[in-house]
Chain A
């Protein structure tokens, strides 16, 4: 290929003139495009929206004029949108790009918004124009992928939880069976003694007959074992109740808004639910410090805790193999300024430095085939950073295994003081 053929053959001005073509193109694009187009005033209010955008916002075009764009997006995103717009108007940035969730229609629509500033209609004013691209299908796929990762963890846990329930149910059943027999035996003894006492008026019972009745009743054993059987049964019922409660905490429906959440309690639940996955490979040590309630999406945080625990157990299992040795999983929490910090460390093989940057990538796994799909830590990262504005960090040395440090802002993501969702 020669240089002449690569060199621009036409002057670059071609796209820019004449001016009236600009207006015509814009009108055509505005009216018929499959992408939303919006013009905003300097307060972020809608001046004009094209039919496609009106459709996404589920309002007639005419009804949109004068409404703040931020009123149509998810509450948690409104403040970010407002400040982005303010910065553009103030001239602090050339463009503003963000992903938004539009909540004004019956179905949620995810969009990519891209805004730039333009001169306003009156001299000296500034306005904004932007493209609003519907990315719902791609977003759905991503959500499904995250959901898949959650289901993977849930599926593994279901089998483990069944076993955790099996154990108390086994001894509760045996104890009740025993108590039933013990009660039957004692009742028979009582009736025997009643009969002997009735006969005593005429025919004094011999000491032998009474001793014989007492001997067959296994009294010494019952005196010892019945109270223990009752205690242990009640203890077993408590254990079942605790597992069921922890399961309910995990089965909590997806939260749509942030709530105050006790992270330490959530850790206790996660340890209960995952106990069967942990107990054969590791001892668990907890150091749960004073942490105020964190404003967050509880089901997300539960999932993060679970994935970190399962990841730690898998790392240790891989490390100790079938040697019969056990590892240690340490869970610590504390408050650091405005953040709640959750630290999960394991005595597994650690993560080599060259892989540390990749560990949060989806589908990345260092585990053998069939052991993990590489979704767990990607999910942790996504949920903590994107949904909560927090951070997750990996500290690892081959000698000490891996430590994951999750920081969650105690105040949660900012929300506007009042939240007008729709007029």
Chain B
């Protein structure tokens, strides 16, 4: 395929598609824009040829946006699906969430739209294989461990549950955390796009009512399924992810990065969930031996996970941290002392958590990096933190500590 991406713009108002086409014209070297003024016309175009992205209105006479995207999810799952709607509201959000990757409210300026499409399409740089692209694009929800599916409904139904307890339960679940971050970084519920990485903040931002709608009524909380049907692998993954998130947050040298480091840690292994749900034969649980991330169809599980997060519109630093995990750090400190960026923090945390779980012996090759980042003295403290966090997951009363 040539380097020019094909973008399909759909709106029943001809003036809107005309103007969107013009507004994207300046990117003509990278994108070619095709327009349709009804869901049926869009389906016809999609049947004839693949597109890289669809940008569609929601309420249209005849086939509406939800139906169009539902069709595209089944038939052209590799196409990035973005809604641009003048209507918002909980009811619409719940119908849209299972079929759309991202949501923007009208009026939305040209610059924001361009950046939304461009960042979403970065998933192409992360996975090239058509089977993988279809798998990632098809994901609506990912399986959660039974610990979450057992507990979350009761917590959300109880009006007296403190917000922090709900946030604490959500961060123990990779799938729910990723969904939450997807929602707050789009305007599904008509709220402004937040560029938000904080899980607790996201929970407050959406409100318990909204969370209940999403996870209980919206059917976006899936029980263990596919390759992870026994649930044990999901529980292991959840525990590993929370430990990495907690350590990564501790390691960032700048508090402003703490939320993003924590979020990136929580979702860093989400590529494995994509495999569990969409390509069960290729599923690999954690922790696997060796420092090289498993590869599937020419992409690492990290790249696969990052490609999902890119499609879902998560903040760029999180996507990057997940994509580059398992790679040698980019920045190795500065003259002023060690600088630990989000990507480094997740990488270092991942290695530390693996060795903590294995035999507490760090790989020899890692000693240099410990020195570079000035971590040698901090090892006992970090080990204690990991132990506390792991214990906390056994103990419901300790949940508040992790939020």
Contacts and interface: CB of A to CB of B under 8 A. Distances in A.
Given A163-B86, A171-B15, A178 B22 contact: yes
Nearest to A175: B19
B18 A228 contact: yes
Contacts of A218: 25, 28
B256 interface: no
Interface string A165-185: 011111111110110010000
A236 B62 contact: no
Contact of B22 (A166, A174, A235): A174
B232 interface: no
Is chain A's interface secondary structure helix, strand, loop, or mixed overall? Answer: helix
A61 interface: no
B16 A167 contact: yes
A314 interface: no
A174 B86 contact: no
Interface residues of B, number: 23
A203 B10 CA distance: 50
Nearest to A236: B15
Contact of A280 (B16, B59, B106, B107): B59
Central interface residue in A177, A235, A279, A280, by most chain B CB within 10 Å: A177
Contacts of B87: 163
Q: How large is the interface on A (under 10, 10 to 19, 20 to 34, 35 or more residues)?
A: 20 to 34
Contacts of A171: 13, 15-16, 18-20
A162 to B, nearest CB: 8
Nearest to A324: B62
Nearest to B110: A177
B109 A173 contact: yes
Contacts of A189: none
B61 interface: yes
B23 interface: yes
Nearest to A168: B15
B22 A173 contact: no
Interface string B101-114: 00000111111000
Given A174-B20, A178-B19, A166 B107 contact: yes
Contacts of B109: 173, 177
A95 B62 CA distance: 63
B25 A170 contact: no
A169 B107 contact: yes
Contacts of A324: 62
A181 B26 contact: yes
Given A167-B106, A228-B18, A324-B62, A174 B13 contact: no
A104 interface: no
Given A163-B87, A178-B22, A280 B61 contact: yes
Central interface residue in B13, B20, B25, B61, by most chain A CB within 10 Å: B25
A366 to B, nearest CB: 23
B61 A166 contact: no
Given A163-B87, A170-B86, A171-B13, A229 B19 contact: yes
Interface in B5-36: 13, 15-16, 18-20, 22-23, 25-26, 28
A42 interface: no
A225 B22 CA distance: 8
Given A178-B19, A229-B19, A167 B13 contact: yes
B22 A170 contact: no
A126 B87 CA distance: 69
B25 A221 contact: yes
A326 interface: yes
Given A177-B23, A178-B25, A280-B61, A170 B106 contact: yes
Contacts of B26: 178, 181
Contacts of B59: 280
Nearest to B61: A280
A373 interface: no
A326 B60 CA distance: 13
A235 B107 contact: no
A171 B22 CA distance: 10
Contacts of B106: 163, 166-167, 169-170
A232 interface: yes
A235 to B, nearest CB: 7
Interface string B45-64: 00000000000000101100
A140 B318 CA distance: 59
A166 B19 contact: no
A174 B19 contact: yes
B401 to A, nearest CB: 42
A243 to B, nearest CB: 13
Nearest to A221: B25
A326 B62 CA distance: 10
Contacts of B22: 174-175, 178, 225, 229
26 contacts: A163-B87, A163-B106, A166-B107, A167-B86, A167-B106, A168-B15, A169-B106, A170-B106, A171-B16, A174-B19, A174-B20, A174-B22, A174-B23, A174-B110, A177-B23, A178-B26, A178-B110, A218-B25, A218-B28, A229-B18, A229-B22, A232-B19, A236-B15, A279-B61, A280-B61, A324-B62
Top 6 nearest A-B pairs (CB, nearest first) are A174-B19, A178-B22, A171-B19, A166-B86, A174-B23, A177-B110
Interface of B: 13, 15-16, 18-20, 22-23, 25-26, 28, 59, 61-62, 84, 86-87, 106-111
Given A166-B107, A167-B106, A178-B22, 12 more contacts: A163-B86, A171-B13, A171-B16, A173-B19, A177-B109, A178-B23, A181-B25, A225-B22, A225-B25, A229-B18, A280-B59, A324-B62
